[in-house]
Structure 1
Amino acid sequence: MSTTGYVSALDLFSVGIGPSSSHTVGPMRAGRSFAEEIRDLGLLADVGRVETRLFGSLAATGLGHGTPDAVLAGLEGLEPETCDPAAVRDLAPALESRGTLRLLGESPVPFARGDLVLAPLTRMPEHTNALSFEAFDGAGSSILRRVYFSVGGGFVVRQGDEEGAVPEREAPLGFASAADLLAVCDREGLSIAGVARINEEFLHGEEALDAGLDDRWSAMESCIETGLATGGVMPGWMKVPRRAHDVATHLRRVEADGGAPDVPPQWLQAFALAVNEENASGGRVVTAPTNGAAGIIPAVGHYAGRFLGVSRDALVGQYLLTAAVVGSLYKRNASISGAEAGCQGEVGTAASMAAAGLCAVLGGTPRQVENAAEIAMEHHLGLTCDPVGGFVQVPCIERNAIAAGTAVSAARLALLGTGEHFVSLDTVIETMRQTGRDMSTNYKETSAAGLAVNIVEC
């Protein structure tokens, strides 16, 4: 048995709400965790006030990402997997108006605007996505304080915990790198998805695994359908129009008139736009591996099913598992957090995962799959995270549409080769990590440079 380098697909792909896995889903989970600890310590009745502080990137772009609403929703006991997205939207002003916060939905404590503090210039050494909760009794004395880090993809780590940023999993076929993974495939005579299935069934059992994967793919498909059916504008001062609905309407007309050769790739882009417009509007999405990059894997998979003849069973059982294995390597050896690595860590990783999954379902060997993943990331290196206004809209939504096309191209290129190539996936992952380390903080989800400061707010 080995715990080395394995992150479960059911952890990496989690159902939540938009607009951000690290700024919405993670903070909500942290808030609920803190409230549950208060309850478990028998302190609910003693709490007279709770103060929340957001640091670094969480504070810099928190308003556009809905972070204040999310942390308060978590304190009130909501979970991203099951909550009504409408119950989270604009929760902070609603609680301020009400004057009370209900811990876990049952224990009311006073709440005022000053109980939620933004500190964008304070960056904790462990991670820029940091937040703290402190509970005080009626006399103003602190009774419990905790610091959490939202490390990307909805994963949350409490300061001082030994688990680290990645859930350690004991698995029969462990691997720490792509080279290790290929060696396991060779030794066992398995595909990458085959390696994943053995590990996942060990962790969850066959029935729970299949149900979990099916649930996540169904959520991805539902998100595409909802996004294609919904028009209007997205939240925020920019009033960015939703485009997927109009694109889909146009493409249906073209198809009704006999079609055109470029219709399938246009649908691919429409699928990605649909998901990320839903995400930007706070709707139900699946982290893949993050919310900001949530459109790429669903779009490529949906495209493969509709235009390339790939069965739903193959998408659920092979495409998602292959993509998850590649995502686990990025999670383990670099980062999937835009606040830590820039958009290369989110959109680049998602494109790499999708390329690998597509290559696999189109018959690629493990080495061709590894090559597809490498090609997709190689051409996202250095991509900055500079969301205008802190919203996950511009340039984020279109980046998903373009990256979906890159993923398909990468898979096609890999399938044309033998699997032998000059730059390994491990090399490109390490290069991404180094590039993220060297990248200015201004370009890592702080909205302090790039497009974020060159678009005039009006």
Structure 2
Amino acid sequence: MESISVFEIIKIGIGPSSSHTMGPWNAATSFINLVKREKSIVDVQEVFVEFFGSLAKTGIGHGTDIASMLGLNGENFKTINTSTIDEKVLKIKQTEIINFGGEKEIPFIYGHHLILNTSRSLDFHPNGMIFRAVFADGTEISQDYYSVGGGFIATQEKNSIEKDCVRTLYPCHHGSDITKYCEKFGFQKFSDLILVNEESWRTQEETRAEALNIWHHIKECIYKGVNKEGILPGGLNVTRRAAGINRKLLGDKIYKNKEEWFQQVADAEENFTNINKWIACFALAVNEENASFGRIITAPTNGASGVIPAVLMYSQAFTSHTSEDDIVRFLLVAGEIGTLFKKNATISAAMGGCQAEIGVSSAMAAAGLTEILGGSIGQVLMAAEIAMEHHLGLTCDPIKGLVQIPCIERNTMGAMKAITAANIALESDPSKAKVSLDEVIQTMWETALSMNDRFKETSEGGLAIAVNVPEC
């Protein structure tokens, strides 16, 4: 089994969906690279992309069409100025020209070169798509891709494309592996083991730097979210709430930048009610940014991107565990828990429902928080198990296919459950636990396989059809 770096699970992303936005964007980039390897971009006459299954059914709401056009246009979601997205997409639609790979302008007619096929699904995975390039000599290159969660893409031939297979010093594919290696080699903390394993990709200094870079982007995202008001795009007319909560909690206090804002949050009145409101505010801020094509931290997906930031911000603002080392350890542990779900179950809502997104992110956050609050290795694994146990069976039923209702509020619930799970684990004896993390991951996977497809990100069941929202 291939090892996965924590920074493939927790990484810089763009809203609104890792599976439906980042995945197709990555697939478009991969297809460009395939064309470069096999032929030449100069010889390309036309490019087609067709989306199937869940990608097609909720593609407009998730920005799947936008992501694929920008990807084919040679844009990078990690570096693109998010304020220019609407302008770039409008230009492609109006001129009916795309700059393929950023190197050659070719005709591109929306609805002809880009198709959302809602009547068919590909067998390999619900999130399927096919890219096809036609060359001047009449030949073609075609490639199927599947967005398998968290921005990861695969083909039927390869489960993870364009990545070198890495084996870490202490391969951790199950929770039991973590316990085994920590006991055998004397690692006192869960994060000590992960820090060593991450050396398969980079030095320990580089790992710490990347974790702190992730923290920088988390603060930036939350700060943007608590300072924006208005209505989210997409037609549901959902009002942004983070800014209002932030304003009520801080009163008339003025802040010039995110550091001054954070200090005022940390200095704010601390009581049970206010702290809970702040946790909700942090999660809402991130997911409101996500819903509007903002830059966020995918952890492990975009739909669940508010949980880990909310819990980490909570630890920094309202506990004494505020060092850079605490931040690094939190993210290392959270990321490693995410890899266990990725390898043994799924982090794709189209495959497993929302338990695969909010449930996994809550388990990750619970483990990270338990680690920095002084929990033992057994308690860290127990916290992750408890958090997932209470998300089992959670469906994915977004209204109109938008990552807004119920997705945004679910992040606040996932954060609260993560903190509760950590507190329970810290007061418990893991040796007396009746359910292990590995068992709950297996149960989650079995639940995913048994779940009706109507409740797997298709907008064909649950709230998506119970609530009558007129088309715009």
State the TM-score, normalizing by the size of structure 1: 0.95
* Alpha-carbon displacement from aligned partner over 1:387-407 (angstroms, at most 9, x marks no partner): 111100000000000110000
Matched, 1:447 2:459: yes
Letter in 2 for 1:448: E
* Alpha-carbon displacement from aligned partner over 1:321-347 (angstroms, at most 9, x marks no partner): 010111010000000000000000000
Q: Distance in 2 between matches of 1:96 and 1:269?
A: 38
- The one of 216, 224, 239 equivalent to 1:241 is 239
Instruction: Give 1:104 shift.
Output: 1.6
- The one of 442, 456, 460 equivalent to 1:430 is 442
Instruction: Give 1:444 shift.
Output: 0.4
Going from structure 1 to structure 2, the CA distance change for 1:373 and 1:5 (only over 3 Å counts) comes to farther
The residue that corresponds to 1:35 in the other structure is 32
The residue that corresponds to 2:260 in the other structure is none
Instruction: Give 1:300 shift.
Output: 0.2
Secondary structure in 2 aligned to 1:204?
A: coil
- Once the two structures are overlaid, the 10-residue window that deviates more, 233-242 or 205-214, is 205-214
The residue that corresponds to 1:205 in the other structure is 203
* Alpha-carbon displacement from aligned partner over 1:343-363 (angstroms, at most 9, x marks no partner): 000000000000000001000
The residue that corresponds to 1:115 in the other structure is 113
Instruction: Give 1:438 shift.
Output: 0.7
- The one of 56, 66, 70 equivalent to 2:67 is 70
Alignment of 1:55-454 (within 5 A): 55-89=52-86, 91-113=88-110, 114-138=112-136, 141-161=138-158, 163=160, 168-190=165-187, 191-253=189-251, 260-420=271-431, 421-454=433-466
Whether contact under 8 Å (1:182, 1:366) holds in the other structure is yes
Q: Distance in 2 between matches of 1:40 and 1:167?
A: 17
* Alpha-carbon displacement from aligned partner over 1:303-338 (angstroms, at most 9, x marks no partner): 011001212413432100010111010000000000
Q: Distance in 2 between matches of 1:125 and 1:86?
A: 37
Secondary structure in 2 aligned to 1:156?
A: strand
Q: Distance in 2 between matches of 1:261 and 1:21?
A: 33
Letter in 2 for 1:212: E
Going from structure 1 to structure 2, the CA distance change for 1:248 and 1:167 (only over 3 Å counts) comes to farther
Secondary structure in 2 aligned to 1:332?
A: helix
Q: Distance in 1 between matches of 2:36 and 2:246?
A: 48
Whether contact under 8 Å (1:155, 1:165) holds in the other structure is no
Secondary structure in 1 aligned to 2:24?
A: helix
Whether contact under 8 Å (1:21, 1:154) holds in the other structure is yes
Instruction: Give 1:91 shift.
Output: 4.7
Letter in 2 for 1:216: I
Superposition RMSD on alpha carbons, in Å? Answer: 1.9
The residue that corresponds to 1:54 in the other structure is 51
Secondary structure in 1 aligned to 2:226?
A: helix
Secondary structure in 2 aligned to 1:229?
A: coil
Going from structure 1 to structure 2, the CA distance change for 1:164 and 1:97 (only over 3 Å counts) comes to closer
Q: Distance in 1 between matches of 2:303 and 2:114?
A: 24
- Once the two structures are overlaid, the 10-residue window that deviates more, 189-198 or 87-96, is 87-96
Q: Identity of counterpart residues, as a percentage?
A: 39
Q: Distance in 2 between matches of 1:333 and 1:399?
A: 24
Instruction: Give 1:87 shift.
Output: 3.4
Instruction: Give 1:202 shift.
Output: 3.0
Q: Distance in 2 between matches of 1:436 and 1:89?
A: 35
Instruction: Give 1:89 shift.
Output: 3.5
Letter in 2 for 1:105: G
* Alpha-carbon displacement from aligned partner over 1:88-113 (angstroms, at most 9, x marks no partner): 34754431211211012120000112
Instruction: Give 1:297 shift.
Output: 0.4
Letter in 1 for 2:339: S
- Once the two structures are overlaid, the 10-residue window that deviates more, 338-347 or 158-167, is 158-167
Going from structure 1 to structure 2, the CA distance change for 1:312 and 1:76 (only over 3 Å counts) comes to farther
State the TM-score, normalizing by the size of structure 2: 0.92
Going from structure 1 to structure 2, the CA distance change for 1:108 and 1:257 (only over 3 Å counts) comes to closer
Letter in 1 for 2:407: C
Letter in 1 for 2:193: V
* Alpha-carbon displacement from aligned partner over 1:264-294 (angstroms, at most 9, x marks no partner): 1110111001000000011000110000000
- Once the two structures are overlaid, the 10-residue window that deviates more, 378-387 or 126-135, is 126-135
Whether contact under 8 Å (1:386, 1:448) holds in the other structure is yes
Q: Distance in 2 between matches of 1:265 and 1:59?
A: 37
Going from structure 1 to structure 2, the CA distance change for 1:169 and 1:366 (only over 3 Å counts) comes to same
Whether contact under 8 Å (2:2, 2:167) holds in the other structure is no
Secondary structure in 2 aligned to 1:262?
A: helix
Instruction: Give 1:259 shift.
Output: 5.9
Unmatched tracts of structure 2, length 5 or more: 253-264
Whether contact under 8 Å (1:227, 1:277) holds in the other structure is yes
Secondary structure in 1 aligned to 2:133?
A: strand
Whether contact under 8 Å (1:301, 1:315) holds in the other structure is no
Whether contact under 8 Å (2:152, 2:160) holds in the other structure is no
Whether contact under 8 Å (1:193, 1:322) holds in the other structure is yes
Letter in 2 for 1:287: T
Going from structure 1 to structure 2, the CA distance change for 1:77 and 1:315 (only over 3 Å counts) comes to farther
Instruction: Give 1:233 shift.
Output: 0.9
Going from structure 1 to structure 2, the CA distance change for 1:323 and 1:145 (only over 3 Å counts) comes to same
* Alpha-carbon displacement from aligned partner over 1:91-148 (angstroms, at most 9, x marks no partner): 5443121121101212000011211011123222211111111011357x34211111
- Once the two structures are overlaid, the 10-residue window that deviates more, 278-287 or 84-93, is 84-93
Q: Distance in 2 between matches of 1:359 and 1:176?
A: 20
